[in-house]
Structure 1
Amino acid sequence: MIRVLVVDDHLVVRRGLRQLLADAGDIDVVGDAADAATAVQQARARLASGGGGLDVVLLDIALPGRDGLDVLRQLKAEHPRLAVLMLSTYPDRQFAVRCLRAGAAGYLNKTADPDELTAALRKAAAGGVYLTASAAEALAVSLHELRDRPGHEVLSQREHQVFRLLAQGQSVGQIAQALSLSSNTVSTYRARILEKTGTRNDVELALYAVRQRIVTV
């Protein structure tokens, strides 16, 4: 049996995934979590001696507080051999390459059909990397078009996280509280983001994000 931990902040999604994967026959959802802290705690417990084991973490990117990319990096740092399959509503071109570079075993959109999801979990559990056609294309583009990239594509993971929140209209103080950072640190990230994207203020940054389809209106 492939032992899976499902991480998503929506209860209906976690329950739906449990039911869907139960029908696969060879996949056992051994736990679920609604946030980053619980996900890391459960993974540690399952992988500890006598913890029952864990093969794949099915991880949503959009989590409260810390996003899935942060959790992915922590899980891979603590458990390098643990397969982490990312699940998201965001387009492949926006996050797939970031996830794969951070060590993900694949990137699936939540619109994927059940057969694709189970195939991805099986490949991840076997030590492989599952790539959809669009994710593979995004990866190829990232490898061959290193020059002249849009400014948001050269942001660090944390800068990209702050960028999205700024573009959604959140203030420096709100972002600092959400990410457990100081306001000075967030202001430093904001200055770097403005420089890299070639924008002068939060309004221009929000318009840039809409043009680049990072956020929708």
Structure 2
Amino acid sequence: MTKIIIADDHAVLRAGLVQIISKEADLKVVAEVQSGEELLSKINEIDFDLIVLDIGLPGRSGIDTIKEIRKFYPKVPILIFSGYDETRYGVRAIQAGANGYISKEDTKANLIEAIRRIKGGRRYITPQLAELLAMELDKNVEKAPHERLSDREFEIMRHIAMGKPVSEIADLLSLSVNTVNTYRARILEKMGLNSNTQIALYALENKLLD
């Protein structure tokens, strides 16, 4: 029996996942959480085999959560189950330590296949994501401006693009205001932009927001 933790901040979606997974005789949901912090606490409290994780969690991001899990559980299978397609977070998620990435728009059958595949020690990567990963390794391929950002810079860039003030971003990510301002300066420099408005326009044009 594969014991699964689901981490997603949408209660209706979690309920749907539980229903889908519970129909499989060899799979069982043993816990549901709605944030990265709650997940990091839960994995130290219960016995589990696999994590199904949404990338867009409140507070600590899914990418940050993966990295933190990997410090203590380097081999536990992690499947990203995301509303974002692979072009937005797929490469970052795999590089952070996820074993697979599947869209919430995908089929129930593919979800179950993905869970079983990563539990068996393999990866679940779509052809599109495989191509993106190959491009990431090709030093001759010019990266888009936002792809030059670190995971933390990318996360802060999205918050800025959504119009959040520096103080709110600092609270959300448990950073100082000065640190967020430093990240903002790096983001502008790396992306060749001059203002928060330009960041917002870029994010909208490149479909980087919800």
Bucket of the pairwise TM-score, normalised by the shorter protein: over 0.9
Q: Residue in 1 aligned with 2:4?
A: 4
Deviations 1:155-192 (A, max 9, x none): 11110000000011111111111111111000000000
Aligned partner letter, 2:110: E
Residue 37 in 1 paired to residue 37 in 2?
yes
Measured in 1, the distance between the counterparts of 2:100 and 2:71 equals 17
Deviations 1:21-71 (A, max 9, x none): 01122111011101112111111222xxxxxx3111000011111111111
Residue 164 in 1 paired to residue 145 in 2?
no
Q: Residue in 1 aligned with 2:95?
A: 101
TM-score by length of 1: 0.93
Q: Residue in 2 aligned with 1:15?
A: 15
Unaligned runs of 5+ in 2: none
Bigger CA drift: 187-196 or 90-99?
A: 90-99
> What is the aligned-residue identity percentage?
37
**Count of aligned pairs:** 210
| Displacement of 1:145 | 5.1
Aligned partner letter, 2:166: V
- Asked if structure 1 preserves the Cα contact closer than 8 Å seen for 2:148 and 2:191, the reply is no
Bigger CA drift: 140-149 or 68-77?
A: 140-149
Q: Residue in 2 aligned with 1:63?
A: 57
Change in Cα spacing, 1:68 to 1:146, as seen in structure 2 (3 Å) is farther
Output aligned runs, 1:76-155, within 5 Å.
Answer: 76-144=70-138, 147-155=141-149
Residue 202 in 1 paired to residue 199 in 2?
no
- Asked if structure 1 preserves the Cα contact closer than 8 Å seen for 2:135 and 2:141, the reply is no
Measured in 2, the distance between the counterparts of 1:212 and 1:142 equals 18
Measured in 2, the distance between the counterparts of 1:116 and 1:24 equals 13
Measured in 2, the distance between the counterparts of 1:189 and 1:57 equals 30
- Asked if structure 1 preserves the Cα contact closer than 8 Å seen for 2:100 and 2:118, the reply is yes
RMSD over aligned CA atoms reads 1.2
Unaligned runs of 5+ in 1: 47-52
Measured in 2, the distance between the counterparts of 1:144 and 1:172 equals 35
